Amino acid sequence: MAMPAPPDQPGTDGVCQRVNRMFGRIGDKWTILVVTMLMDRPRRFNELKRLIGGISQQMLSRTLRSLEHDGLVTRTVHPSVPPQVEYGLTPLGQSLAQPLTQLAMWMLSHLDEIEQHRALRDMQEGQLPAVRLAEP
């Protein structure tokens, strides 16, 4: 399927509007992190929360619900007390994980170059370069 040509008036083509909505949802940082954390195997809610770090319980719930609604994630309830819920990628979700992984690899291989460009631009604009935080 070929991408439609951009319309003469931005935002008027129905297909482009639908694609933009999906980019908004899939391009969200929490969505990307959830999908990549589920690539290898299904995981329980608290395990996802620990692995992602910095995500609130409410945001993780909302993200998982959206992904499930879009058919990218399955939710399996295991009968136990208390019930255990496990999330996994559907085949559609797995097909999204592949290009997300490629995008992440591109970022990793170009991160230093991008940061150098940012620092140069900041110096040209008379701004102090951003402080690089130590990674945990």
The whole-number pLDDT of residue 131 equals: 59
Lookup result for tokens 């999330």 = 87
What b-and-e string marks burial along 73-107, b requiring 16 or more CB atoms within 10 Å of the CB? Answer: beeeeeeeeeeeebbebbeebeebbeebeeeeeee
Which pLDDT score is estimated for 74?
Answer: 98
Alpha helices in 5-127 (DSSP H): 14-26, 29-37, 45-52, 57-69, 91-124
Percent of the chain residues topping a pLDDT of 70? 84
Report the chain (136 residues): mean pLDDT per 10 consecutive residues.
60 77 85 94 96 95 96 94 93 94 91 92 73 59
Helix axes 57-69, 45-52, angle to 10 degrees: 110
Dig out the tokens for 33 from the structure: 């992190």
pTM of the complete model: 0.74
